[in-house]
Structure 1
Amino acid sequence: MGRFLYRSLEQGIAEEIEQGRWQPGDRLPSIRALVQTHGLSKTTVMHALNRLEARGLIESRPKAGFFVRAQYKPMKVVVPPVPEAPAPVPVSVNAVTQELMCRSAAFDISPSAGMRDPLTPGLLQLNRTVARELRRQKGLHQYYDEPAGSQQLREVLARRYKRQGCQVEAEDFTITAGCQQALCFVLMTLCQRGDLVAVESPGFYGVLQLLEALGLKALEIPSDPQTGMDLDVLAQVAEQWPVKACVVTPSYATPTGALMPLENRKRLLALAEQHDFHIVEDDIYRELAFDHPVSPLQGLDRTGRVLLCGSISKTLSRDVRVGWVISRQWQPEIQRLKLVTSLATSRYVQQGLAAFIEEGGYDRHLRRYVPNLQAQRDELIRFVQNEWQVPCVTPVPQGGLTLWLQLPEQIDSMKVYARARERDVLITPGALFTATNQFRNCLRVSYAHPWSDERIQALQALGGILQDAQVA
């Protein structure tokens, strides 16, 4: 149980903040003082403090230490019990997941508002670039693109990933119709019906959909809101069960926004090597970092254990269905699956995207978009903490698109979803992020869109629904 000592320190400090011993703006004891007082290692103390910061209770100030956050109300942190080792479960995706996907706006709390959002400068430039490439196609309209995808796009992506620390070449890429198709091809390549796949819990419901469709079983590994997948539990599971693959989003995973630390990434690779399973890296949120850029997990891989799946759906446009798989070893099989399922992807869209990236449009877009996301995150947290009359735990993600809200136990977010839907307010209940009966009192809310009057009204309506659910 020694490895869970950080939980006791975290809970103790959280309770002291809630009870008023530490007021907003107060400086906490130094790391050295906490080490001496509690008899813990520096690593354990830092882990507890980092978890408190991720939940929005404290903040780190350079060369000054940790302080109780002044801008948010104190929150009661419920530390979950030490998890039991998970067992494999068949996946049956909730009908609500299907409904959310059919509404095509799972990241917008007010879908009707999105119809009136103006196009950003980046999307306007992308549209012009794609249209230009379409005009250049001429006789190529009568031919399919090669199975690997546009050579130009693969070269552009390879150069970009090289700058981000990956040892890749254009020949390692297969272009797909979005990241979901990339994940599907990879799971079909690595697994056979009945195989066991480790997944984050809570984790991306799109992965659960794929596991169900492919007849695979899920091993749900608890995921910390700050550091991601619990590797102690994964190690225990891998000793007990024949894990075939592990699907993980190391950078700003949905729904929690967790960012896996470097030492955890190295340990995950070591576990994959030790227990002979592959890692499927979902890389779609990594470039939405608010602080410093991070490298892909694939950049640390020297044995071919990691198959990276990426796209620009979350960073640029969900409507441009372009994704990719990076894998040298498995490329022939992935391309075979592409041929038998979709033949090819649009040549002019690929070349338009390649030109957009190569001409600097994509990076200019990110330089505008990411700071806006951070401001929208802050505004959402302030609203939740100051306007809603419902206590909740709100981890503070350092990138990505969503907040993961833990509500009082008596609130069932599936029932909240139904009531909110009647008012054209769209949330994602916590139960959708698991194949087991967990997270009923949690929900995901996105800050991917600007806070228009309609979206503010939707948040207000949601707050009222939650307040009614709390006293029901």
Structure 2
Amino acid sequence: MESGYRYQALERWLSQGICDRRWRVGERLPSVRALCHQHGVSKATVQHALRRLEAQGLVEARHRSGYFVALQLGDIEKPQPGDLIDGPRSVSVNDLLLDIMRRSAAFDLLPQHGCGDLPPGIVSLNRSIGRSLRRQRGETQHYYDEPAGVPALREQLALHHSRRGWSASADDLCITSGCQHALFLALMACCDRGDVVAVESPGFYGVLQLAEQLGLQVIEMPASMESGLDIDALEKALARWDVRACVVSPAFATPGGAVMPEPAKHRLLRLGRQHDLAIIEDDIYADTAFESPPDPLKALDTDNRVILCSSFSKSLSRDLRLGWVSGARWHDRIVHLKLVTQLAGSRYVQQGVASFMADGSLSAHLRRQRQALRANRDHLIGKLQDWPCDVRVCVPRGGLSVWVALPHHVDTLKAYRPALAEGVVITPGPLFSISDQYRNCLRISYAHPWDAPRARALEGLPRLLLRN
């Protein structure tokens, strides 16, 4: 048989194997050497067959790792947001959220299972912080960090953002104790008790917690799992109610990883000008992008009304508790509020992180992380497609989780305790709203590798969910 027919035969064999799920989404195909040996063909024949499959979108090549079964986006039905807009409401966060946070389970089905060895990036980070601690001299431990944070770190963060299209300076940034702290400062600076704030729905439950503590009214805007905040709905809401601020996540919004298109960003900024709206950008997930991170909304801000908030907790380490805020026209007030609420941060941690960024270690870590997260996402969605019920799921291109919609009779809140009795912690959909929506939905994270214990927990979820 001529080699041309051989590559076609191998292509058909691999394609049929993928259709029959001999290899599932995210799984590695046999190596080029193994395929050569198994089918008695040359390396060039195997590579040609694999490149043809890659052109069809059936497989994807990963650097130094081989070929993997690609995700077929057309076969996945996506969850849809609600389309009703209720008026402003006071916030009361479900106590279940506190239970999840006490178990450190916001992004892990098995928080007690732990993980394996430290990733190389975290090893390098720890070394950088350790060197900073060892270099302290004199009596520097007796002095506080300056209110805005260590200049070296702010300079590195400004450089980091400039690579994403925003020409920031160190003076534009204030270091905080994580993104939640940054959001807290932003809302405190631009809102007073009783003010109305627009938020995404489903959206980040941390914002709801802050609104509750600050006595703010919340109006929920429907959000698509693909394009994020519904700008049409926001425009209608602004025409009806006096909204003081809008909290939005343009890059890989939780829970579904939505990315706001550029036209929507421009419309949001126009609405901000028309209604004198403070726009608070939660940019925490941008660096988890599988490809190039989108430019921040802040990069388009010519009116000095976008307050950007972010941290390293999703892209580097949740234990680091190091974030930042760029406060736009409210920046001086935010720096003052940071001094009141935190006083100061650890200068040695900040100096260590600045060195970690300056020597290229953060960039190297993010490159490795993108590959790992994409593989974890593909494995998760492949398993969800095997569930014995109708499952609709978003397919994010960044972030740490997917949003799963199950049949309407499923109540994920009722499934929480039975799952917990088996050591599994789920994150039910109603936590992402204040209006008791999304009872048949849940967020599932792919932040951790799908080792055997986590894979078993995932495979057992349908039994726990469908019996409630």
TM-score range, shorter chain: 0.7 to 0.9
Which blocks of at least 5 consecutive residues in structure 1 are unaligned?
A: 1-23, 26-59, 63-68
Please give the alpha-carbon distance, in whole angstroms, between the structure 1 residues aligned to 2:81 and 2:316. 36
Residue 415 and residue 73 in structure 1: after superposition, are their counterparts in 2 closer, same or farther (change >3 A)? farther
Tell whether 2:456 aligns with 1:457: yes
Residue 281 and residue 76 in structure 1: after superposition, are their counterparts in 2 closer, same or farther (change >3 A)? closer
Q: Residue 75 of structure 1 contacts residue 391 of structure 1 at CA under 8 Å; is this kept in 2?
A: no
Tell whether 2:121 aligns with 1:140: no
Q: Residue 222 of structure 2 contacts residue 229 of structure 2 at CA under 8 Å; is this kept in 1?
A: yes
TM-score, scaled to structure 1: 0.82
Deviation, structure 1 residue 328: 4.2
Residue 70 and residue 171 in structure 1: after superposition, are their counterparts in 2 closer, same or farther (change >3 A)? closer
Aligned to 1:348: 348
Aligned to 1:246: 246
Q: Residue 388 of structure 2 contacts residue 462 of structure 2 at CA under 8 Å; is this kept in 1?
A: yes
Question: Residue 117 of structure 1 aligns to a residue in which SS?
Answer: coil
Aligned to 1:394: 393
Question: For each residue in 1:20-79, what CA deviation from the matched residue of structure 2 results, as whole angstroms up to 9, or x when unmatched?
Answer: xxxx89xxxxxxxxxxxxxxxxxxxxxxxxxxxxxxxxxx979xxxxxx98589566675
Tell whether 2:121 aligns with 1:122: yes
Deviation, structure 1 residue 331: 2.0
Q: Residue 189 of structure 2 contacts residue 330 of structure 2 at CA under 8 Å; is this kept in 1?
A: yes
Letter in 2 for 1:126: L
Aligned to 1:21: none
Aligned to 2:306: 306
Q: Residue 85 of structure 2 contacts residue 220 of structure 2 at CA under 8 Å; is this kept in 1?
A: no
Please give the alpha-carbon distance, in whole angstroms, between the structure 1 residues aligned to 2:338 and 2:321. 14
Aligned to 1:414: 413
Question: Residue 111 of structure 1 aligns to a residue in which SS?
Answer: coil
Q: Residue 228 of structure 1 contacts residue 258 of structure 1 at CA under 8 Å; is this kept in 2?
A: yes
Please give the alpha-carbon distance, in whole angstroms, between the structure 2 residues aligned to 1:393 and 1:203. 18
Residue 347 and residue 437 in structure 1: after superposition, are their counterparts in 2 closer, same or farther (change >3 A)? same
Aligned to 1:167: 167
Question: Residue 105 of structure 2 aligns to a residue in which SS?
Answer: coil
Letter in 1 for 2:361: G
Residue 77 and residue 366 in structure 1: after superposition, are their counterparts in 2 closer, same or farther (change >3 A)? closer
Q: Runs in 1 of length 4+ with deviation above 4 angstroms?
A: 69-81
Residue 456 and residue 214 in structure 1: after superposition, are their counterparts in 2 closer, same or farther (change >3 A)? same
Q: Residue 281 of structure 1 contacts residue 309 of structure 1 at CA under 8 Å; is this kept in 2?
A: yes
Q: CA RMSD in A?
A: 2.0
Q: Residue 171 of structure 1 contacts residue 328 of structure 1 at CA under 8 Å; is this kept in 2?
A: no
Please give the alpha-carbon distance, in whole angstroms, between the structure 2 residues aligned to 1:394 and 1:108. 18
Aligned to 1:110: 110
Letter in 2 for 1:293: P
Matches for 1:312-461 after TM superposition, within 5 Å? 312-386=312-386, 388-461=387-460
Q: Residue 72 of structure 1 contacts residue 385 of structure 1 at CA under 8 Å; is this kept in 2?
A: no
Please give the alpha-carbon distance, in whole angstroms, between the structure 2 residues aligned to 1:378 and 1:171. 40
Please give the alpha-carbon distance, in whole angstroms, between the structure 2 residues aligned to 1:184 and 1:161. 22
Question: Residue 185 of structure 1 aligns to a residue in which SS?
Answer: helix
Deviation, structure 1 residue 240: 0.7
Aligned to 1:91: 91
Q: Residue 305 of structure 2 contacts residue 328 of structure 2 at CA under 8 Å; is this kept in 1?
A: no
Deviation, structure 1 residue 444: 0.2
Letter in 1 for 2:132: E
Question: For each residue in 1:221-278, what CA deviation from the matched residue of structure 2 results, as whole angstroms up to 9, or x when unmatched?
Answer: 0000100000000000001111100000000000011000111111111111111101
Tell whether 2:236 aligns with 1:236: yes
Question: For each residue in 1:124-182, what CA deviation from the matched residue of structure 2 results, as whole angstroms up to 9, or x when unmatched?
Answer: 00000000001112321111100000010011111121221113210111100000000
Residue 421 and residue 277 in structure 1: after superposition, are their counterparts in 2 closer, same or farther (change >3 A)? same
Which of these two proteins has the greater Rg computed from alpha carbons? 2
Deviation, structure 1 residue 341: 1.5
Please give the alpha-carbon distance, in whole angstroms, between the structure 1 residues aligned to 2:310 and 2:368. 21
Aligned to 2:466: 467
Letter in 2 for 1:236: K
User: How many residue pairs get matched?
Assistant: 404
Q: Residue 198 of structure 2 contacts residue 245 of structure 2 at CA under 8 Å; is this kept in 1?
A: yes
Aligned to 2:263: 263
Moved more, 388-397 or 213-222: 388-397
Deviation, structure 1 residue 283: 0.5
Please give the alpha-carbon distance, in whole angstroms, between the structure 2 residues aligned to 1:315 and 1:79. 27
Deviation, structure 1 residue 96: 0.6
Question: Residue 403 of structure 2 aligns to a residue in which SS?
Answer: strand
Q: Residue 199 of structure 1 contacts residue 221 of structure 1 at CA under 8 Å; is this kept in 2?
A: yes
Residue 409 and residue 430 in structure 1: after superposition, are their counterparts in 2 closer, same or farther (change >3 A)? same
Deviation, structure 1 residue 281: 0.3
Please give the alpha-carbon distance, in whole angstroms, between the structure 2 residues aligned to 1:355 and 1:399. 26
Deviation, structure 1 residue 463: 2.2
Tell whether 2:298 aligns with 1:294: no
Please give the alpha-carbon distance, in whole angstroms, between the structure 1 residues aligned to 2:322 and 2:350. 7
Aligned to 1:49: none
Please give the alpha-carbon distance, in whole angstroms, between the structure 2 residues aligned to 1:285 and 1:125. 21
Please give the alpha-carbon distance, in whole angstroms, between the structure 2 residues aligned to 1:249 and 1:70. 25
Letter in 1 for 2:126: N
Q: Residue 79 of structure 2 contacts residue 404 of structure 2 at CA under 8 Å; is this kept in 1?
A: no
Q: Residue 73 of structure 1 contacts residue 385 of structure 1 at CA under 8 Å; is this kept in 2?
A: no
Please give the alpha-carbon distance, in whole angstroms, between the structure 2 residues aligned to 1:400 and 1:307. 21
Aligned to 1:40: none
Deviation, structure 1 residue 467: 3.2
Residue 351 and residue 290 in structure 1: after superposition, are their counterparts in 2 closer, same or farther (change >3 A)? same
Please give the alpha-carbon distance, in whole angstroms, between the structure 1 residues aligned to 2:445 and 2:79. 22
Deviation, structure 1 residue 112: 1.6
Which blocks of at least 5 consecutive residues in structure 2 are unaligned?
A: 1-18, 21-54, 58-69
Please give the alpha-carbon distance, in whole angstroms, between the structure 2 residues aligned to 1:80 and 1:286. 22
Q: Residue 251 of structure 1 contacts residue 260 of structure 1 at CA under 8 Å; is this kept in 2?
A: yes
Residue 227 and residue 77 in structure 1: after superposition, are their counterparts in 2 closer, same or farther (change >3 A)? closer
